[in-house]
Amino acid sequence: MAEAVTQALRFEMTGISKSFGATVALLDVYFKAAAGEVCALVGQNGAGKSTLMSILSGAAQPDSGSMMLEGVAYHPRNPLEARRSGVAMIYQELSLAPDLSVEENIVLGMEPAQYGFVRRGEMRAKAEDALRQLHHSEISPEVPVGRLSVAQQQLVEIARALAIGCGVLVLDEPTSSIARGDVERLFEIIGRLRDQGHAVVYISHFIDEVKEVADRFVVLRDGRNAGGGEARSATRKEIVEMMVGRPLETLYPRTRRNPGEAILDIASGIALHRGEVLGIAGLAGSGRTRLLRRLFGMNRPWKSGFGMVSEDRKGEGLAMDMSVTENMTMPRLGAWISPSKQSAAARRWIQDLNIRCHDDRQEVSGLSGGNQQKVALARLLHCAVDVLLLDEPTRGVDVGSKAQIYELIDRLVVEGKAVLLVSSYFPELIGICDRIAVMHRGKLGLPRPVAEVDEHRLMLEATSGHFD
């Protein structure tokens, strides 16, 4: 850290506050990054990370507080101004023009031109220069960006920021949509950017990544600074506890459960009982989703007390453009709809599940991943289902919401409902299930009590298919 102090401060945000209506998004937040530093910004969804970064990148204005960039006061009025001052934000959903070529994207908005005609040679040189800086000259400058892989597109976007001379790069969850091999390449690039003296802000949920790539981390919780430190020396547990604001032991609640009668046959000889959480450990492509769908489709869903939460929340789990209320009450509509009754019901679930939204008419697309998932779960509760089929219910969900979802699952089985939980995240299966079965290539093993399995063994079985 002593080294960091001597380094030039790239930017500093002091006393930043921002409210949206009655919701306080940020309160008196301090954040800075030095030249040649990778600083991770971590926190649950809704902790204020995005708001803070949209203020830094000019997409939003703070209610109060001040910002300095390279030692001078900095008040970007829009993202364009921020970019021109040297701050570029690279969003999860990449912002490139897919029909234009790599080089055209890199120089977009600052094309070298004479009498309105683009100077192609100069454009090419600029693009190649930026790509070389990233050590990825193998990306051909003339290929349309839409033909590149997501990882390559990400590189192009970073190259674009470099081409206009941005000294501060904000990467928003950059690894959420790329493969593992590409993640390593990205980390190499981030390392190079640091060595070249850029300040990199790295927003992520993944603690392991943060420890791997960042020098320093800063935690936000509920819109306030909640700690930070040196990334490599901090333990996972410390970081998570700062994010959640409570000891980790309480993440997986497990009230005493009393399994009851069998309520659903899953496969020959395997039944799901009331009052238990049965886990299916399976990796993508193991047939676990097909199994759930078969179970769901065989019965007359909803009416016969079955409910499912899809792993594909945006694609089929929720109607993103419709309101919280509409999403919750969708399967249980009569011929006539009474909006006031629906709203009342929805408000009850919003309160019960602690869903963060402006009101029950807000579009689901505006909620964080964790809150969206709670809406999907509330739909099952509203239908008073007895059997919940949950496919990766905590994917893309922040730690705090995860804890709440685990609590909810625990509460439901204690009330006598049955939960079938499919997941590829084995710690959570071990944390909340009573029995776990492994699935591999469409084959389901026999469930075993959770006390008899461990993460290592689950992984071995799920990847090899050798049950015992």
Q: How far apart are CA 220 and CA 41, in angstroms?
A: 7
Nearer to another protein, 119 or 361 (CB): 119
Please report whether residue 460 would count as binding another protein according to CB under 8 A. Answer: no
Please report whether residue 83 would count as binding another protein according to CB under 8 A. Answer: yes
Mark 128-167 with x for binding to another protein (rule: CB under 8 A) and - for no binding.
Answer: --------x-xxx--x--xxxxxxx-------x-------
Which of 21, 181, 269, 315 forms a contact with another protein (CB under 8 A)?
181
Q: How far apart are CA 419 and CA 275, in angstroms?
A: 8
Which of 37, 173, 182, 209 forms a contact with another protein (CB under 8 A)?
182
In three-state form (DSSP H/G/I as H, E/B as E, the rest C), the secondary structure along 22-91 is: CEEEEEEEEEEEECCEEEEEECCCCCCHHHHHHHHCCCCCCCEEEEEECCEECCCCCHHHHHHHCEEEEC
Q: Decide: helix, strand or coil at residue 171.
A: strand
Nearer to another protein, 192 or 443 (CB): 192
Distances (CA, A) of 242 to 38, 170, 397: 20, 22, 17
Nearer to another protein, 138 or 195 (CB): 138
Radius of gyration of the chain (CA): 25
Please report whether residue 200 would count as binding another protein according to CB under 8 A. Answer: no
DSSP 283-345: -TTSSHHHHHHHHHHHS-TTTTSEEEE-S-IIIIIS-TTSBHHHHHHGGG--SS--HHHHHHH
Binding segment for another protein (CB under 8 A), chosen from 4-12, 47-55, 76-84, 422-430, is 76-84
- Give the binding-site size for another protein (rule: CB under 8 A): 37
Please report whether residue 449 would count as binding another protein according to CB under 8 A. Answer: no
Nearer to another protein, 140 or 362 (CB): 140
Binding segment for another protein (CB under 8 A), chosen from 15-23, 174-182, 246-254, 365-373, is 174-182
DSSP 345-414: HHHHHHHHTT---S-TTSBGGGS-HHHHHHHHHHHHHHTT-SEEEEESTTTT--HHHHHHHHHHHHHHHH
Please report whether residue 315 would count as binding another protein according to CB under 8 A. Answer: no
Residues 90-129 that bind another protein (CB under 8 A): 95-100, 104, 108-111, 113, 116-118, 120
Give the single-character DSSP code of 92. Answer: S
CB of 281 to another protein, least distance (A): 24
CB of 186 to another protein, least distance (A): 11
Nearer to another protein, 96 or 324 (CB): 96
Q: Is the dihedral of CA 183, 184, 187, 192 positive or negative?
A: negative
Please report whether residue 285 would count as binding another protein according to CB under 8 A. Answer: no
Q: Which residues bind another protein (CB under 8 A)?
A: 79-80, 83-84, 95-100, 104, 108-111, 113, 116-118, 120, 136, 138-140, 143, 146-152, 160, 179, 181-182, 185
